[in-house]
């Protein structure tokens, strides 16, 4: 009987890790610029590969001195900044696991993040320090980045300035383990509370390699990164650049007025985009530039003509770790396509009755891969949610409705009915509905997507009121609902409108027919 085991895709990364990848480039090109921080109101700052490695290791040594080690979680509640990257990479050098959280989250969610993950340490910026301290409690060590001279009382919050953390002490030996946990991102998914999605080092390396290979990236390529660094999209973009030894230019956030100037000045060659960015740039002057690829959700020939760069489509989610479906640099595909399945993934398109969709037919997209390598490892401490993500055959239910043409090109049709895509953010309708239900003023509530000229979707709420709600004037009722939403939800999740109805349209099993509600809402063309 043979004792050989089935080969794993992860075996390709045996003995590798995120620090290993950075170390490889430090050996090959230590003095090449790796990160350029390009803020809007301050001078630029630069780090070579060797300098970023040194900063990450010095931060890791400081964590080690404070008792943070292999497997410990480090909560990172921080906007885009070079300190984010140094701390994020530094966690990996000591074997700790950074937990990156959305800085637009309200206090209730930050408390949930901290309570679930029980971080050994938290890292944040002065403007968010009080929120993080309240969420983590008085006993969690907290490191605060930013200008030490800023209006921030570190002692009052029991915080340590970042400058005091760096250390030149030797690091403990942390053997490379491609299947060790690397990072956690919270994602809304299809439930009312964000889910903690665990990536291994293999997930990070797999994601970077997949994009770099499909884009045919070379060492001299440069990317502009304006997406939030706490988000999976930005992190995969960063690792794609690192895999290829690229330079990464980081903006605090997207700026339409600065986009092309930054691309021209820094010789940017590729950018990961969101639909909002394409729309915001349309009609603006385009200077001479070196951008060869703009990555979006679909191939857009009209954008190619306007911007003078090819568009490549990419479909993925936090649970896939990278693109499972993508166009190829040599095979652009037809207009509007989201690409073809990459060889590392198996997909199925299933009709509502469970049968497989034929070419041209719509269905729910299911994806198969390897957990911990080409798919996420798990939802941390949520085994039931992890199991629910897959069907009985081990396929990941994406909740996206797609169709495939006769040549194998995929086209996005719609998202699962209760998921909105607001700008670049996934928003679960159930989360908003729960907040509105908690006002005690409504009998039923339904949140649906209203089309928006810039953001794609925005939430709109329909409510039927109970006796307490009927005691209020309609405008007072709407204001009470919106006030509750502002208190408990991130700003992009707050409904743009509240509609009071006597009753709801119904489908089978007396369910609210949300499709009938959506058609009542005109597209928001301008604001």
DSSP annotation of 286: -
Which of these, 92, 100, 57, lies nearest to 75 by C-alpha position? 100
Higher-confidence residue of 108 and 372: namely: 372
Decide if pLDDT at 191 tops 70: no
CA 264 – CA 251 distance, rounded (Å): 14
Looking at residue 147, its pLDDT comes to 66
Q: Taking residues 205-225, report their average pLDDT.
A: 97
Which stretches of 195-253 are assigned E, i.e. beta strand? Answer: 195-200, 222-225, 247-250
Q: Indicate the SS3 state at residue 198.
A: strand
pLDDT at residue 42 in the model: 93
Domain 12-396 has CATH 3.40.50.300: no
pLDDT above 90: residue 11:
no
Q: What's the length of the chain?
A: 527
- Domain range annotation of the chain: 12-396, 419-518
Q: Which residue from 106, 114, 105 is spatially nearest to 75, judged by alpha carbons?
A: 114
Give the residue with greater pLDDT, 222 vs 418.
222
So what's the pLDDT on residue 464?
A: 93
* Phi/psi at 474 (5° precision): -55, -45
pLDDT of 73 over the 70 cut: yes
pLDDT in tens, 280-314: 899 999 999 999 999 999 999 999 999 999 999 99
What's the whole-number mean pLDDT along residues 227-248? Answer: 96
Adjacent-strand bridge partners of 347: 367
Place 114 in a pLDDT band, splitting at 50, 70 and 90. Answer: very high
Distance CA 336, CA 327 (A): 11
Residue 137 pLDDT > 60, yes or no? yes
pLDDT band at 510 (very low <50, low <70, confident <90, very high): low
Give me the CATH code for the 419-518 domain, please.
3.30.300.30
Structure confidence at residue 508 (pLDDT): 46
Name the average pLDDT for the chain: 92
pLDDT in tens, 381-423: 999 999 999 999 999 999 888 999 999 999 988 766 677 889 9
pTM (predicted TM-score): 0.84
Kindly state the percentage of the chain with pLDDT values over 70.
94
Distance, in Å, from the CA atom of 365 to the CA atom of 387, rounded to the nearest integer, reads 17
Which is higher by pLDDT, 439 or 189?
Answer: 439
């Amino acid at each position: 009987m043979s004792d050989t085991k089935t080969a794993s895709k992860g075996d390709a990364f045996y003995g590798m890790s995120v620090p290993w990848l950075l170390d490889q480039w430090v050996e090959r090109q230590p003095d090449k610029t790796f990160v350029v921080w390009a803020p809007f109101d301050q001078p630029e700052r630069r780090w070579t590969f060797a300098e970023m490695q040194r900063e990450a290791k010095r931060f890791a040594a400081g964590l080690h001195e404070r008792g943070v080690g292999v497997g410990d979680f480090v909560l990172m509640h921080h906007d885009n900044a070079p300190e984010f990257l140094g701390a994020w990479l530094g966690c990996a050098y000591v074997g700790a696991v950074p937990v990156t959280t959305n800085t637009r989250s309200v206090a209730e969610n930050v408390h949930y993040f901290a309570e679930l993950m029980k971080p050994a340490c938290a890292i944040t910026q002065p403007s968010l320090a009080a929120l993080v301290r309240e969420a983590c409690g008085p006993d969690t060590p907290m490191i605060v980045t930013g200008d030490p001279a800023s209006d921030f009382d570190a002692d009052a919050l029991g915080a340590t300035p970042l400058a005091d953390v760096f250390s030149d002490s030797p690091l403990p030996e942390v053997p490379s383990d491609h299947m060790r946990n690397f990072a956690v991102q919270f994602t809304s998914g299809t439930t009312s509370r964000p889910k903690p999605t665990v990536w291994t080092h293999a997930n990070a390396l797999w994601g970077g390699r997949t994009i770099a290979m499909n884009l045919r990236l070379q060492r001299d390529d440069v990317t502009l990164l304006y997406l939030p660094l706490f988000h999976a999209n930005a992190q995969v973009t960063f690792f794609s650049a690192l895999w290829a030894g690229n330079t990464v230019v980081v903006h605090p956030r997207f700026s339409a007025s600065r986009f092309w100037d930054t691309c021209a000045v820094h010789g940017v060659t590729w950018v990961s985009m969101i639909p909002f960015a394409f729309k915001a740039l349309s009609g603006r002057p385009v200077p001479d530039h070196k951008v060869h690829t703009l990555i979006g959700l679909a191939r857009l020939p009209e954008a190619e003509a306007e911007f003078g760069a090819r568009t490549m489509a990419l479909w993925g989610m936090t649970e896939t770790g990278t693109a499972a479906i993508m166009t190829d640099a040599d095979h652009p595909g037809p207009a509007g396509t989201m690409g073809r399945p990459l060889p590392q993934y198996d997909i199925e398109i299933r009709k509502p009755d469970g049968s497989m969709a034929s070419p041209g037919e719509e269905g729910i997209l299911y994806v198969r891969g390897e957990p911990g390598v080409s798919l996420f490892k798990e939802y941390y401490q949520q085994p039931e949610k992890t199991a629910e993500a897959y069907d009985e055959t081990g396929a990941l239910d994406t909740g996206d409705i797609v169709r495939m043409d006769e040549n194998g090109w995929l086209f996005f049709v719609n998202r699962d009915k209760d998921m909105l895509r607001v700008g670049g953010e996934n928003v679960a309708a159930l989360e908003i509905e729960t907040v509105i239900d908690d006002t005690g003023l409504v009998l039923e509530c339904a949140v649906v997507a209203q089309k928006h000229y810039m953001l794609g979707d925005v939430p709109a709420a329909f409510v039927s009121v109970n006796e307490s709600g009927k005691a209020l004037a309609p405008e007072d009722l709407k204001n009470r609902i919106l006030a509750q939403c502002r208190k408990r939800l991130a700003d992009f999740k707050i409904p743009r409108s509240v509609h009071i109805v006597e009753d709801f349209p119904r489908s089978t099993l007396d369910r609210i027919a949300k499709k009938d509600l959506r058609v009542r809402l005109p597209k928001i063309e301008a604001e």
